[in-house]
Amino acid sequence: MKERFLVTGGARLQGTVQVSGAKNSVLKLMAAALLAEGVTTIHNCPEIDDVALMRAVLEGLGCEVFIRGTSVYIKTPAELRSDADFDAVRQFRASVCVLGPLTARCGRAKVALPGGDAIGSRPLDMHQSGLEKMGATTRIHHGCVVAEAEKLTGAEIRLDFPSVGATENILTAAVLAEGVTRLDNAAREPEIVDLCEMLNEMGAKIEGAGSNVLTITGVSKLHPTTHKVVGDRIVAGTWAYAAAMTRGDLTVVGVPPKLLHLPLEKLKSAGAEVDAYETGFRVQMRKRPVAVDHQTLPYPGFPTDLQPMAIGLAAVSEGFSVITENVFESRFRFVDEMQRLGADATVDGHHVSVRGVEQLSSTAVWSSDIRAGAGLVLAALCADGVTEVHDVFHIDRGYPHFVSLLNSVGAKVERV
Report domain extents, the chain: 4-19+231-415, 23-228
* C-alpha to C-alpha distance for 392 and 3, rounded to whole angstroms: 7
- The reply to whether 23-228 shares the fold of 4-19+231-415 is yes
Active-site residue, selected from the candidate residues 117, 194, 249, 396: 117
pLDDT mean over 296-320: 97
pLDDT at residue 121, rounded to an integer? 47
Binding residues for phosphoenolpyruvate: 23-24
Alpha carbon distance 143, 113 (integer Å): 6
pLDDT tens, position by position, 368-380:
999 999 999 999 9
Look at residue 87 in the predicted model and tell me its pLDDT. Answer: 77
Given a cut of 50, whether residue 118 has pLDDT beyond it is: no
Using DSSP, state whether 398 is helix, strand or coil. Answer: coil
Residue 304 phi/psi, 5° resolution? -60, -30
The pLDDT confidence band at residue 122, using thresholds 50, 70 and 90, is low
Mean pLDDT of 278-299: 97
| 4-19+231-415 homologous superfamily | Enolpyruvate transferase domain (3.65.10.10)
Contact present, 334 and 311 (Cβ < 8 Å): yes
pLDDT at 196 over 70: yes
Confidence of residue 1 (pLDDT cuts 50, 70, 90): low
* pLDDT at res. 86: 72
> Is 50 exceeded by the pLDDT of residue 315?
yes
For 232, 253, 349, the CA distances from 334, given in Å and listed in that order, are 22, 28, 14
Average pLDDT rounded to a whole number, residues 115-134? 75
Phi, psi of 360 (to 5 degrees): -85, 170
pLDDT bin (cut points 50, 70, 90) of residue 411 is very high
SS3 124: coil
**Which residue, among 164, 199, 273, has the nearest Cα to 42 in the 3D structure?**
199
| Averaged pLDDT, 361-387 | 97
Q: Residue 88, SS3?
A: helix
DSSP 219-247: -S-----EEEPPB-HHHHHHHHHHHHHTT
- Is residue 194 annotated as a catalytic residue, yes or no? no
Average of per-residue pLDDT values in the chain = 95
pTM, to two decimals: 0.95
Among residues of the chain, what percentage have pLDDT more than 90? 90
Residue of higher predicted confidence among 328 and 376: 376
pLDDT at 8: 98
Class of domain 23-228: alpha beta
pLDDT of amino acid 90: 74
> pLDDT higher for 143 or 295?
295
Q: Which of 14, 49, 45 is nearest to 30 (CA)?
A: 45
**What's the CA gap between 71 and 73, in Å, rounded?**
7
* CA atoms within 13 A of residue 345's CA, in its CB half-sphere: 31
CA pair distance 48, 11, nearest whole angstrom: 25
